[in-house]
Amino acid sequence: MKKLSFILALTLFAFAGNAQKRTTTSAVVSFDATTPIDELPKAENKTVIAAFDPTTGTIAFEAAIRNFSFSNAMMQDHFNGKKWLNSEQFPTAIFKGIVSNISKLDLTKDGNYTADVEGDLTIHGATKPVKTTATIVVANKAITANAAFSIKLEDFNVTGGAISAGKIAPEPKIIVKATW
């Protein structure tokens, strides 16, 4: 928790120099690894730190693994355990990237925009490139972004019997929502 607070303070300090850069501590990341066999592997984290510079297009998210909440306590214990995401050794998931078509978006005006997002996602000590499309809505100077993509758990060194048994999807869907 101290590390997360330090990173938040550092992020806020880094973004304080420019009024265009925005941060939030209430972005939401959802994880959905449901299968026809098991509908329980769904989680949500409502305390994700997110930073966005609408001028340069740089974007970053940091989610504490322990803050993902499941409806089933046993599922949550497994998710955080050493055989899964090992939140003690790897306490955060981090995305650092850019809106690659930012020069084509006029985020100073209210409207809906399609953003091409690419960057690096780090989970469980492994970093992999991610590309997705996000929907950005600007309304009354607030910027809201929504994106969805899938990852391969094996790319992030997450394997196990529950995946091979079909209880957990090998390519869970990740949904990200943030308002700045």
Residue type, 24: T
Q: What's the number of domains the chain is made of?
A: 1
Determine the structural domain holding residue 75 and report its residue range: 2-11+22-179
- Section 39-50 average pLDDT: 93
The DSSP annotation for 96-152 comes to: EEEETTGGG--TTSSEEEEEEEEEEEEETTEEEEEEEEEEEEEETTEEEEEEEEE--
Q: What is the CATH number of the domain that holds 73?
A: 2.40.128.110
Q: Answer yes or no: is 54 within a domain.
A: yes
79 lies in a domain? yes
| 104 in a structural domain | yes
- State residue 3's pLDDT score: 56
- 29-42 pLDDT, tens per residue? 999 999 998 887 89
Q: What pLDDT score was predicted for residue 12?
A: 47
pTM for the whole structure: 0.85
Q: Is residue 111 part of a domain?
A: yes
Please compute the mean of the pLDDT values over residues 64-92 and round it to a whole number. 92
In a domain, 170, yes or no: yes
Range of weakest confidence among 28-32, 70-74, 150-154: 70-74
In a domain, 17, yes or no: no
pLDDT per residue as tens digits for the range 108-136: 999 999 999 999 999 999 999 999 999 99
**16 within domain boundaries:** no
Decide if 108 is inside a domain: yes
